[in-house]
Structure 1
């Protein structure tokens, strides 16, 4: 009996262009504020091409959030690998706090894409909200695991506090400017984590 091996999935240039343009517009201007006609025009793809890859706008939003999730996970992995093996627990926690602060300053200057999407999709059972929930669970679990590895007392409680501080800093960075939000986040996160 022979086994069938699936060929690697070929990435469509049109799909990637559509997702890239949609991601930029959704984050910058809001999901409901951007019509599909505009996304299609700026991505230079037809409606038929869009439907070949995404059954509708909500599926495109899900793909946008999954892309955001993958990017954040990748940055976390890269940051973890850059911490020296002999780093102290305090150094590890400070590196984690700096990673979150860098994200607020460099990548998510208009707030959290997951919070923004959740505000626009109030139905908690929607596919969009499921992606948001998965991301937040992963983020909290990753923080807890890193904090536990750094020897932080009560890593569950500290992780929960850091999630809340990050949420606030992302919103504050957008509303008040990163020059206000970043130092406040770093100082407060250090107090919480190093207590």
Structure 2
């Protein structure tokens, strides 16, 4: 699994063949297939591993109990992922990258990505409600679009400025969504 996380993140899913995975993992192809009956099963396990390590996705701030709900929403945009120019960083969201790269050819993996993105949006909606937003569902969905868009554009441009712009927009959205006093 370590080899899959490393290679899928750096080289992509389609470029990473089973033989290369087996070589980097120091196992035979046969052994790899004993643990994962198909490459799609390995990709799904990879996605589940990424999900379990939410720090990779930048979403752990939503679980922080030392911050108010409003602060958690704002902090989501303030805590930027590591600079994409760094050799040690996963470029963009690994779940999103998998969805784009597989383009519907890996239905099991696509289902994992879709479930996670829906759960992330639901967590934003719940946090927006906790923060007292008049329309928490709308705010949560808007923040999801903003966060995912900033992450994708930062990766495409190899520049963290979209996160700075997203943080400013998130503040505006969150302040505008607050219940009147």
Q: TM-score, normalised by structure 1?
A: 0.77
- Residue 80 in 1 paired to residue 63 in 2? yes
Residue of structure 2 in register with 1:5 after alignment: none
- The answer as to 2:129 corresponding to 1:148 is yes
Q: Which residue in 1 is equivalent to 2:80? A: 102
Partners in 2 of 1:81 and 1:90 — Cα distance?
12
**Equivalent residue, structure 2, for 1:171:** 152
- Out of 134-143 and 44-53, give the one that drifted further: 44-53
| 1:61 paired to 2:25 | no
Q: Point out the more displaced range, 104-113 or 138-147.
A: 104-113
2:30 is matched with: 48
SS at match of 1:48: helix
List per-residue Cα deviations over 1:97-118 (Å, max 9, x = no partner).
33xx434658965122122111
Query: Matches of residues 113-128 of structure 1 in structure 2 within 5 Å?
Result: 113-123=94-104, 126-128=107-109
Q: Distance in 1 between matches of 2:82 and 2:167?
A: 11
> 3-state DSSP class of the match of 1:102?
coil
**Distance 1:176-1:54 versus aligned 2 partners, 3 A rule:** same
Distance apart, 1:139 and its partner CA = 0.4
Question: 1:163 Cα deviation (Å)?
Answer: 1.3
Question: Aligned in 2, Cα 1:160/1:104: closer, same or farther, shift over 3 Å?
Answer: farther
Aligned-pair RMSD on alpha carbons? 2.5
Structure 1 runs not aligned, ≥5 long: 1-18
Aligned pairs, how many?
172
The structure-2 alpha-carbon separation of the partners of 1:170 and 1:151, relative to structure 1 and needing over 3 Å to count, comes to: same
From the two aligned structures, give the one with the greater helix fraction.
1
Q: 1:34–1:65: structure 2 CA closer, same or farther, 3 Å change rule?
A: same
Structure 1 range deviating more: 41-50 or 170-179: 170-179
Unaligned runs of 5+ in 2: 177-181
2:139 to 158, 168, 189: 158
Question: In the alignment, what sits opposite 2:7?
Answer: 25
Q: Deviations over 1:87-143 (max 9, x none)?
A: 4x5434323333xx4346589651221221112223378101110111011101111
Q: Is the radius of gyration larger for structure 1 or structure 2?
A: 1
TM-score, structure 2 normalization? 0.82
Q: Following superposition of structure 1 onto structure 2, how do residues 128-147 of structure 1 map, counting pairs within 5 Å?
A: 128-147=109-128
Q: 1:79 to 1:164 in 2, by over 3 A?
A: closer
